[in-house]
Amino acid sequence: MAARPDILFLVLDTQRADRLSCYGYNQPTSPHLDAIAAQATRFSQAVAAAQWTVPSHASMFTGLYPSEHTMVQSYSVLPSHRPTLAERLAASGYYTAGFCNNPLVGVINNGLRRGFTSFLNYSGLLTSRPNQAGSHPGLVGRYRQWFKRQLAGVLNQVQDAFARSDTLLALSFTPLMVPLWQTALSFKGNSPKSLEDTANLLINRAGVAANQPIFAFVNLMGTHMPYHPPRRYIEQFAPQVLADRQAQTFLQRFNGDVYGWLAPLTGALDDHQKQILDGMYDAEVAYQDALLGQFFQRLQASGQLDNTLVIICADHGEHLGEKQYMGHSLSIYNELVRVPLIIRDPAQRLQPGTTVDRVVSTRRLFHTVLAAAGIANQKELTLDLASDHSATPERDYVFAEAIPPQNVVNLMQKRQPELVKTMACDRVRRAVWMGQHKLIETEGADAELYDVWADPTEALDLSAILPENVEVLQDCLQAFADRSDRALAQASPSRATDYDDPEVRRRLEELGYLED
């Protein structure tokens, strides 16, 4: 049996696809990712299963849509009967390691860390560091380690409480608290250190058995708000911030306004404000890309890249004022759910240097990793992204769900109840992709239909022009929603992708969505 590959699962938290050069962006934000993509398979229409961190990561870790795995709130806990990707790989002999900069994944005790032999956290009240390879601490060292574990347990409980309490969450957004958790608590973590530690594990393999493959999950928070990239990237992508006092004031206010990262805008950003945010976001993308370039260069020089399945993706994107939205809490537009997905497969199960244009869900990364590791069952193999797509259940449609984080909605209800009503901030949004079309349904609102090929920014709603398409896609989405709602109510989700009503399928074929 051939040696199983190492697997690097790299999540670029909050990374929009349309801000990478290899996805057609007109700014040179990602030369190093572009180089990786040129040797890999790039998916041009990858869709995140959810619009924010917790449900999206849970979908990638379980292969399920949010209403199936039920991880839809900050206080959610992954059901024990849902095996995670790390659990499956660890059970098959992989050394599983996490290097995480997002506190919602690496700090909160929600089950997303299940199955990891080692999980290093770089954000929050107490960051963790690797054990020194080959060291044997004495009595004092063992006591320090014990004390650190006890302190970590207490602090994790504190951080859990903030995630689960509306009152504590509101407190954390006050002007007094924001500087504390952004700086002292290292909110965005430490990307350089986490990449260094990941490379050390993959290259030096300290603590890993001979011939044991490694699964390394990495989450980087470089493109998440607030924006503080190094000066040289600001000079390149947002020079007005260095020269304009008004721009500096706006950015300072924006970086400190955590509530403003969550709530929709009451009016559109002016051109100057939009230019500032776009430039600073681009600067963060470019800085993170430079770090990734150094990381991959090191893996390449060591020869380790030749036996590593590399998956680069995002959990979601980011609104920067489009359609009056900010951040990534509420909408299901492309700014949030269309994400980059690049896979470099040393076994060449996916053809290098190619682009896949069909719509695919990032939940299928679960199945793809299991297949690469040689442990996927027959049903899971049908959702492997490297499989024969003509035989996959998702050849026809892909879904995404935007279930609002309740603690965010509660906070908005206290501050801007009218905005909650006018922007439907408390409503569930779901979308289905079929052929070139995407249908969005928001509870209590008219459906929206977009051509994702001709109109990637979703500027033209086609629902009034193509009513037949809307009707048949609504039937398809309704079947998914019914099962989703039942799953959430029962907390024992069932799969929703086997919906196969003959009449709906006949109408889909008539409209050209399905092949006969």
Query: Is-contact 331 319, C-beta < 8 A?
Result: yes
Where a domain ends, among 392, 410, 441?
392
Burial 454-484 (b: 16+ CB within 10 A, else e): eebebeeebbeeeeebbebbbebbebbbebb
Give the CATH number, domain containing residue 213.
Answer: 3.40.720.10
Question: What pLDDT, on a 0 to 100 scale, did the predictor assign at position 148?
Answer: 46
| Domain identity same for 433 and 360 | no
Average pLDDT, rounded, for the chain? 87
| Domain identity same for 183 and 292 | yes
Residue 422 lies in a domain: no
Q: Which of 221, 404, 410 is nearest to 325 (CA)?
A: 404
Q: CB within 8 A of 108, min separation 6: which ones?
A: 74, 156, 159, 160, 163
Which pair of structure tokens corresponds to residue 143? 């006591």
Alpha-carbon 301 to chain mean position: 29
Where a domain ends, among 365, 392, 419?
392
| Domain identity same for 386 and 460 | no
Residue 510 lies in a domain: yes
Tell me: pLDDT of 493 over 50. no
| Domain identity same for 455 and 379 | no
The pLDDT tens digits for 68-96 are 999 999 889 999 999 999 999 999 999 99
Pairing of strands 41-47, 341-344: antiparallel
Q: Domain range holding 461?
A: 427-516
| Domain identity same for 40 and 184 | yes
Which pair of structure tokens corresponds to residue 262? 């969550």
| Domain identity same for 252 and 373 | yes
Which of the 8 DSSP states describes residue 322? G
Residue 415 lies in a domain: no
**How many Å apart are CA 305 and CA 289, to the nearest integer?**
17
Residue 408 lies in a domain: no
Radius of gyration of the chain (CA): 22
Q: Facing residues of 432 across strands?
A: 399, 439
Average pLDDT, stretch 386-399?
Answer: 67
Question: What pLDDT, on a 0 to 100 scale, did the predictor assign at position 391?
Answer: 46
Average pLDDT, stretch 405-430?
Answer: 94
Range in 76-85, 409-418, 494-503 the model is least confident about:
494-503
Tell me: pLDDT of 1 over 50. no
Higher local confidence (pLDDT), 481 or 170: 481
The pLDDT tens digits for 290-323 are 999 999 999 999 999 999 999 999 999 999 999 9
| Domain identity same for 144 and 253 | yes
Residue type at 57?
A: H
Q: Facing residues of 440 across strands?
A: 431, 448
Question: What pLDDT, on a 0 to 100 scale, did the predictor assign at position 494?
Answer: 34
Q: CB within 8 A of 417, min separation 6: which ones?
A: none
Residue type at 501?
A: D
**How many Å apart are CA 260 and CA 258, to the nearest integer?**
5
Residue 1 lies in a domain: no
The pLDDT tens digits for 23-46 are 999 999 999 999 999 999 999 999
SS (H, E, C) 358-424: EEEEHHHHHHHHHHHHCCCCHHHHCCCCCCCHHHCHHHCCEEEEECCCHHHHHHHHHHCHHHHHHCC
Where a domain ends, among 345, 368, 392?
392
pLDDT band at 66 (very low <50, low <70, confident <90, very high): very high
List the end-to-end C-alpha distance of the chain, in Å, as a whole number: 40
| Domain identity same for 365 and 451 | no
Structure-derived torsion over alpha carbons of residues 412, 415, 417, 419, reported in degrees to the nearest 10 = -70
Range in 17-26, 99-108, 139-148 the model is least confident about:
139-148
| Domain identity same for 181 and 303 | yes
Q: Which of 344, 339, 342, 353 is nearest to 372 (CA)?
A: 344
pTM listed for this prediction: 0.88
Residue 358 lies in a domain: yes
The total of structural domains in the chain comes to: 2
Query: Is-contact 247 280, C-beta < 8 A?
Result: no
Give the CATH number, domain containing residue 511.
Answer: 3.30.1120
The residue written with tokens 């490379």 in the block is 199
| Domain identity same for 432 and 374 | no
Average pLDDT, stretch 429-454?
Answer: 95
Tell me: pLDDT of 467 over 80. yes
Query: Is-contact 59 66, C-beta < 8 A?
Result: yes
Tell me: pLDDT of 439 over 70. yes
**How many Å apart are CA 331 and CA 333, to the nearest integer?**
6
The pLDDT tens digits for 98-132 are 999 998 898 888 999 999 999 999 986 555 554 33
Q: What percent of the chain has pLDDT over 90?
A: 74
SS3 of residue 129 by DSSP: coil
Residue 500 lies in a domain: yes
Residue 405 lies in a domain: no
Average pLDDT, stretch 454-459?
Answer: 96
| Domain identity same for 223 and 357 | yes
- How many residues appear in the chain? 516
| Domain identity same for 501 and 360 | no
Average pLDDT, stretch 119-148?
Answer: 55
Average pLDDT, stretch 163-188?
Answer: 58
The pLDDT tens digits for 223-239 are 999 999 999 999 999 99
